[in-house]
Structure 1
Amino acid sequence: MLQEKMIEQAGQPMDWDGLAFRLLSVQVLKGSDEIHLPQQLVLSYALIVVTGGTVQLLADTGLLELAAGSVSLCLPGQTFGAVEQSGSLEMYVFYFNVYQYGAADEGSRLLKDAQLLPQTGQLAQIPMPFILTLCNELAQREEMEQRKVSFRAQIAFQELLYNVRVSSWQRPRDTNYALEQAKKYIEEHFTRDLTSQSLAQAAEFSPKYFNDLFKRKYGKSALDYATELRLQQAKRLMAESGAKLRDIAHQVGYADEFYFSRKFKKMIGVPPAVYMKSRRRKLVAYSSSLLGQLLPLNLMPYAAALHPKWTEYYYMNYRNEIPVHISAYRSNQDWQANLEVLRQVSADLILAEESLQAEEKAALEQLASVHYLSSEPADWRSPFLELAELLGESWQAEQWLAAFDWEAGQVREQLHAQIGSESVVVIRMLHNKLYLHCSRSMASMIYQELQLKPAFDAGGEIYNIPVTPQEIAAIGADHLLMLIRRESDTLNEWSRLQNDPQWLKIAAVQRHRVHFLASDPWREQSAYAQLRMIREIRQLFLGQSSIHVP
């Protein structure tokens, strides 16, 4: 039955009898305004518990919506971050390690990939009175112990874990969970003949009530969502050479190819034949920065390096447009796995950075023609124009650059009118260390394109110099642009730094002139990254939305 298929199939979790759990820290996030929880890498397990409001999280397991009482588990080496919240949010993130004990003479070993629970992503709900009491107790105890987790807090955390484990075997009956399961079912079976009535029946709602709830939650009806998924899959299939329109229509769930063609043109804006012609050339963006060179040329690669944290923007906006994803996480370690994926692609052209190791280059060149671009170009425009010429898109590049220069000029004038000669400096934070920092892309945008006044002169445009809060105060910058590494250790150190008396003496901190940057796009040297930087600076300093550049 459809209803049974919509219930998440439980796997077989590990036996907990031989395991030990050690709570490391608790992160508390509260407030009615947008919370600051960027995509971050976790080095330990992270148990995410929502006790108030609703939040959308993007994790390795997908996009999750967690309401009060909801729980999610993130494994070491995975990433998660908040996308959107509604209502006054109250959320706790418990970071912990798991150890496995063997025989008496074997001791213990740290586990990084233990299947602790029967399901991934959003887990079953826990009774609110219990969870709220326990979370508050844990957070208060950590605060009282000055972030040293007490023995009693460890016991309370064991209770929380036990109740999560018990609840994860039970089927929640709340509305949010039912809608999430319906959405997940559609995502896994959108090529089937779905009806509003069958989906509503499986979710245990009347058809009208189900449709109203689904549209209110996701902004579209359940069947419109299924249609959207069908067309996304159709676009992926169209990028494959030799695929016939009739076959594509059948594969995505349409028996009538002519109805499919009409639907495609209505939703996408061009007939399928036109779209297929534009996607016949199979390009591979072997690094994420090369995707940032292709997008301004209105070219979508067949394969690209994507990751929900390291290439968050591209992942969120273009993952459904790109049929084949290769790893953008530690690509220097995953390159052999990436090549295995690309062997199935039959690419026409692979675009890669010249900094690759000789062994990787040689293997890549066995697959297809490869064009290498500089990993650290003196400027971003030259490789952009070089690539455009190679691909026969110089006219597109010139048009895009003209629009870019106009927008940059507008933002520059507005910034100078708003902040005048006030100075800025970029501070990078890694673990518990601070650095005066400037990459080539930052120098190009902040000090050249936008002509903001630097508060620090290192004698060169690229630098990464250790610095203390006292030294930052002495520099006297009017604005601090913070680039904080988004992993749990550094974020915990950042929380501590904000209460450091020396940090609080910095004039820009006292005047609330601390602005936050993300490595994506600020460490990327590409045309599209530069455009995104302009729009981010506009938003940070002027609070304005962007002007559209095609």
Structure 2
Amino acid sequence: MSTLDHHYWLKDVIFEIGHAGKGIQAPSWVDGSTPLARHTLLYLAQGAGRLTVNGQSCGFERDALFIYPPGKTMSVELATEPDSELYVVSFDWFRLAEQTDAGRSYMRELSFPLEGRLQLSGSLFKRYLYLLAAGEDQGRSPLLAQQHLSDLLQILLQHARPAAANELSDRLRSTLDYMQNHYREEIRVDKLAELARLHPSYYSQIFKKAMDKTPVSYLTHLRMNKAKEMLLTTNKPVNDIAADVGYVDEFYFSRRFKDTNGYSPTIYTKKQDLNIISLSSPYTDHLFTLGIVPCAAQVHRYMPLVTKALTLPKHESEPWETSRQAFSDMQPDLIVCKDNVLAKAKAHINDIAPIVPIPWASKDIYTHHCEIAELVDRRQESLQWVDAHNQKADRIRKKVKASVGEASAAICVVRKNDLRMYGTRNIGHVFYRSLGMAMPDRIANVQAMHRIGTGFNWISIKPDEITDFESDYMFLVCETMLDYQRVLHLLETNSNWKNHPAVRAQKLRFLEWEKWIVYAPHGIDQQLEEAERLLIV
């Protein structure tokens, strides 16, 4: 962490210790089924065993250090040795939310900058663990214990870093990356083994175990999937595509393509029943609106779609939890995703099917719909939805204007410690684009610098800055119940919020996060209907 980040996380914070102790086994509440109630730190000073977090198991050896936030499930199995020594500390931490002459209020924080296994050199942190455990045993001052915990967390924030992945996995990953970047070239197994610093036979063995196919088969599938991608997204002739993926002989390429897929390259471009997987819930919504049911997909709860739901990251920083086998079992012809998860998808399943990304932030919902329709040959269905949606929006817009006139609206999302005022994209689409409601001047000025629906989503503000967003209506979207409580606190105690025109006129409306964060065709059709109910009394 930077010095600035470090300062931020420790500024205006207080701690509350739930448990601090050591033993030869974990406490009874670390049972693998009950979600953690507090942030939990584990350090194994002696012994060995296994740690399981949210169903994922790993080795737990001497000097292993882990930290996890509330909500995770965790179990620890240690070898039955008398010298096992496990330190466990659970705690809550609270950040100053508001300070007045009458007092201070604090909000509980559920996140922490570090998570999972940590690497930390030195022994000072062990001293604070010992002091915390000894203090609980001997009934020492709670304030002193809080200071020990604060010192311990300061060391972690300043010096700890995520532990390196298994070295063998890193070596294997380096060869996968090499193949993905050099698939056009002739690649021999001994070259890959050299990159991994392993004997060729051993390298082939661990590759087959990890990827369920040989290096040669993996490379062939990479090439064929890249060829499929070009067949779908370009007008290149087959001979050019063959050369682009590393085959000099077009006929040999076609034969390998058919051997791998069961049909020729020309048949692939004419297939009307492509088996599609969607890795991004908005694009699943687009496919559903076009009349296509993916064989597996990331979904949102407001889409009446029956398919195999996949647990997948929404952003590149989130973990990938679905196995390769789950994808290969579906035998997909095509995988679509947002561009912000493409790198992670390629790292895990690039050999299983062609992965076609649709740019997310740089294009709006209508462009998304058009590009996906073009990709799956559903242009007519796309035009039909756009026409029906525009007619629906026109009808509701006229009714809203007849009811509220040329009203303005401010849209505020409350997430953790952040207040976000939205423009014409995502949650703002229905109010500003579909219904034509006016934006607060400050949002309008920022929006004017961007193409409508692209690039700009929201700006972050401080609580008192709500005065810059006067409007006839205010729509509030809270991600969690804690966020909802936070905004209720602002409405009760902050004069700028209490005096906002929409609050004074009782034109404050709360929207459901999961419904309104959806930026996709079926989603905005539902949002339009709800906006009509909220605005026409």
TM class, shorter-chain normalised? 0.3 to 0.5
Q: Which has the larger radius of gyration?
A: 2
Task: Name the TM-score, length of structure 2 as normaliser.
Answer: 0.47
Task: Name the TM-score, length of structure 1 as normaliser.
Answer: 0.46
